[in-house]
Every structure is written in C-alpha cells, then in structure tokens.
Amino acid sequence: MLKPLILLAAPVALVAAAAPVPDGNIVTIRVTNVRNAKGRLHVDLCLQATFLKDGCPLSASAPAQTPVTVLVVKNVPAGHYAAQLFHDENSNDKMDRGLFGIPKEGVAFSRDALKAMSAPKWTDAEFGFAGGAQAIQVKMHYYLGGSGPQAR
C-alpha cells in the first residue's frame, strides 16, 4: 500500500519545484562607501555551491552612485544565499585584479563578511531569504586607490 502513495507524491513534488517565483520576491542591496560614480556595481546572489565562483543563479547591476548605490535582484526564490559584489569602475564586466590577485576595484559581501585580505567563508556571508521583500546593506571595500567616496 505504501508504493502507490510514494508514486503519487513524486509528481506533486515535481510540480511544486517547478512553481514560478512570485514577482514580489526581491532582495534590495544598499551598498555604502562607493568611492566614485564611474562604471557600474554588480551583485551576484549565490548558492553555497557557486559562492566565490562563476555561475551564481541571480544577479543585478546598476550605475555607480556615490556614496550609496542601491541594487535590486528580482524573482528570488526562497532559500539561503550569499551576495558577492564588485564595483566595475571601467565597465569591462569583470573584476580587475592586480599583483597577487588583489582586487583593483571595490568588493563587498553580504553580512560585511570581508575581513582583511582573504576571501570570506560561506557561513560568514550567508543570509536566509523567506520570500517577499528583504533589504540588506553592505560596505564596499577598496584595496587599491582611494578607500571611499571622493571629497567634493
């Protein structure tokens, strides 16, 4: 008698997994310490398997604004994510690095997980998203050049 129940439950699980994500499921990221209005800021919302790698499932970008830039990621399924951001000052769609791989452009992570000169751990950057609308704030860090908004 258990076998028919299992067979009936499998199609229901597949239908639930394929359900569309509500349009109202958004994550807003407020980025502080943006040093200039050159280029764009880019954010990836990553699952644990794609954190610090290419292939994060959700992303957004916006023109850089100083001292704060706001990015909005839409249609985010409920789950656990880590946000990884960079300030693409020269608009070449990639993170530029200098000697020893030190970022030439600004970087930031959710929960301000960036400490010292090493990549953060997933557990330090991870946040839960239950659906609906959620806002997080991060601070952009620059290792080369000026460290924050330029004086006017």
- Residue 20 three-state SS: coil
Question: 8 burial class (0-12, 13-18, 19+ CB within 10 angstroms)?
Answer: exposed
Give the pLDDT confidence of 58-81 residue by residue, as tens digits. 999 999 999 999 999 999 999 999
For CA atoms 89, 94, 99, 102, the dihedral sign is: positive
Closest CA to 58 of 115, 123, 124, 134: 134
Work out the average pLDDT over 45-53: 96
Give the pLDDT band (50/70/90) at residue 5. Answer: very low
Q: Tokens in use for 50?
A: 């794609």
pLDDT tens column, 102-119 = 899 999 999 999 877 788
Quick one: CA dihedral 29, 31, 36, 39, positive or negative? negative
DSSP state of 119: P
Q: Is it the case that residue 8 has pLDDT exceeding 70?
A: no
Distance CA 80, CA 77 (A): 9
